[in-house]
Amino acid sequence: TKQKSEEDDNADSVSSSEKASKAEAAAPTSSNETKKKDFDRDGKLSDLRAMRVRELREECAKRNIRWAHFVEKEDLIQALIVAIENSADFSVSGAMEPGKVTELTGEQLEQELSQPSEAPLLLDIFATWCGPCQMMAPQLEAAASELGDRVRVGKIDSDKHAAMAQKLKAKGLPTVLVLNGSEELNRIEGALMKDQILQFVEPYI
């Protein structure tokens, strides 16, 4: 009887161990781990190497990367791939960075809206000729700096990307939206100050 009890205990121990191993194997990976696995570094490097030096410099400037001291084209490429890979944890398109306002293309915005994220998207639809839009620009930058990695902050030019502005039903400028995936959470028209922007997005963080 004693021997049978010991065998049962051993069996229970093995069973528990097997269950733990299976549970670990079945445990879902974090969103950051998934994004890192999904990031196609080789593919992105190939895309960057296909670009001209002038285009690489323009891309560096968009990401606030100081490129003047780079001598070789590969220096530009390596600086960009590091920035893009770091952004991949935060931004679906890889173009957006925490604490900064990113001017998006229509394609990049489509990517940002393609799936839900822990960080909602605060989007400013603007035009360069719009006075209130220009007045709000520094306020949006200040708000982005304070929001950090809690919110993706972007803007899109309604003249350059008219189809996207029409798709988002922007009637007045600026139009500010809070979006998560393809879902619109809120919108407001007119220029906002920093504190108003923060109050506007706070319920969705």
Which residues in 83-111 are b (16+ Cβ under 10 Å) and which e? bbeebbebbbbbbbbbebbbebebebbeb
Report the distance separating Cα 69 and Cα 63, nearest Å.
16
Contact 154, 102 (CB under 8 A): yes
How many C-beta atoms surround the C-beta of residue 64 within 10 A?
A: 9
Report the distance separating Cα 12 and Cα 15, nearest Å.
5
Residue of 56, 60, 92, 133 with catalytic role = 133
Residue of 45, 51, 127, 130 with catalytic role = 130
- Tokens representing 78 are 């390596």
DSSP 8-state code for residue 192: -
Q: Is 60 one of the annotated active-site residues of the chain? A: no
- Cα torsion angle, 99, 105, 111, 113, sign: positive
183-189: strand order across its sheet: 101-103, 152-157, 121-126, 175-180, 183-189
What are the residue ranges of helices labelled H in 94-167? Answer: 106-112, 131-147, 162-167
Amino acid at position 188, single letter: I
Contact 133, 173 (CB under 8 A): yes
Question: Hey, which residues are catalytic here?
Answer: 130, 133
